[in-house]
Amino acid sequence: MGHNHRDVVFIVLLGATIISGVIALILFLVDGSDIFGLPDTKYGMVFDAGSSHTSLYVYKWPADKTNDTGIVSQALSCDAEGPGISDYVNDLVNAGESLRPCMEKALALIPEDKHQETPTFLGATAGMRLLREKNSSQADRIFEEITKVLGQFPVNFQGAQILTGIDEASFGWITINYILETLVKYTFSGEWIQPSTAEMVGALDLGGASAQISFLPLGRIADPSTNAIFRLYGYNYSVYAHSYLCYGQNQMEKRLLERLVQTRTSEVVRNPCYHGGYEDTLSLADLYDTPCVQSSQTSQPVQSLKVEGTGNPEACYSAVYSLFNFSACLGREDCTFDGIYQPQKHGQFYAFSGFYYTFHFLNLTDGQSLHTANETVWEFCQIPWKQVEASYPEEKQRLYAYCTNAMYILILLTSGYKFDDGTWSDIHFSKQVAGTDIGWTLGYMLNMTNMIPAEAPVLQRAESFSVWVAGVIFLALTIVMSIGSGVIYCFWSPD
């Protein structure tokens, strides 16, 4: 009988040991936070106050991974109703009120106990840069109204500011390389490595008032004003970054219209970039209400002019091309236009914002060749306006401008940034990567919250995790031994 008892005890101990071994293996292979719902989640918010509209982005990340890479994810995006904040100069109260619905939507998503600690920022770009140049007191009053409204919410609002052009360009570069994990990677063997710089990509951004380009050049940057210097994960980066103010889509269109107004031969302005049959009324007060457009007359004899589209892509190309001063480069290879320095570019580029939206509309975001892009734009611009309206009933607001914008993008990317038939395939027209919108906002938040460290991450988390696992295994084995001892005692203890 004792022999049978010992067999039973052996089986119990063996089973318990196997179970504890399985538990230990699971704990080694699975993050304890996946089992117990830890660690805590943190949130951050950034308003992108662009020239034509404002968007709010909510980001989240595990609290114990603040210094890791590729762990920030986008939890929400919200487009505020109405125009960009720079357009509220005569309606100051609504500059702030227009942001309220997106804030309420964001706070409904973020757990209430996280509201007070959620860092919240508002960054304004070229629209406000132009307004500050035109009337700095108006820009200040808009920010005051925004601060008044956002300050009413129970968040850690850290103020509103105007980004410089080089900041807007370089934060876009940080964003795309961060979410692609080309800054630093954590390997399966548990080591942090710096990927080859050849894996890093450039950023092409197109807004309503400005256009940005940023990339990591092969050699040194000759013009210090275009050199954005970062120390990220223990490595130094010298990024070429430039913002072309007045070269955003809306300001480019105004500059084009102003040129057509000045060269018209009648009271009707004929625009070759508008579809044949399109008609509109052009307010001269609105046209000249920007530092990007300089009036050649002290006073306008008329308040508005009629505009008619002619749908002529060849004439459209010539008219848009004339907005660039290519002769200012004097034949230099390291120059784009208007005398602006640009080192030799290389590698892959992600084109987002206006680049993506315009080419997505034309179904040109799937790797089509430059020849196909040119052909598509040319054909689209020649379609009569009534046919365009009937074909795209949901695109009423900016439908008339797609031909102009597409022609402009072609000229900017080829004659300006010098992409050609061979390098056109290096451009990826994208809105998101891994569920995160591409833009400057994520890079801005990472910078403002110091979530990208200057030094390489250390393995503190891995070490602490190993200690935790060892403790759990020790506890499991202690339980097993206790069970075994109890069983032995029950079977062999005297009556």
Q: Which of 145, 168, 253, 258 is catalytic?
A: 168
Per DSSP, 225 falls in state G
Residue 267 is a catalytic residue = no
Q: List the beta bridge partners of residue 93.
A: none
Spatial CB neighbours of 322, under 8 Å, sequence gap ≥ 6:
259
Write phi, then psi, for 410 (nearest 5 degrees): -60, -45
Distance, CA of 271 to CA of 269 (rounded, Å): 6
Alpha-carbon distance values, 138 to 132, 161, 299, 371 (Å): 7, 14, 23, 46
CA distance 151 to 35: 38
Q: Find, among 283, 279, 290, the residue nearest to 304 by Cα.
A: 283
In Å, how far are 67, 353, 479 from 416, measured between CA atoms? 38, 18, 72
Note the Cα 399 to chain centre separation in Å. Answer: 24
Q: Are 249 and 347 in contact (CB under 8 A)?
A: no
Q: Which amino acid is at 84?
A: G
Residue with tokens 């919200």: 78
| Cα 135 from Cα 130, distance rounded (Å) | 9
Please give the Cα distance from 472 to 117 (Å, whole number).
32
Cα–Cα distance, 53 to 338 (Å, whole number): 28
What element of type H or E holds 43? Answer: strand 41-49
> Structure tokens of 41?
């989640």
Would you name the residues annotated as active-site residues?
168
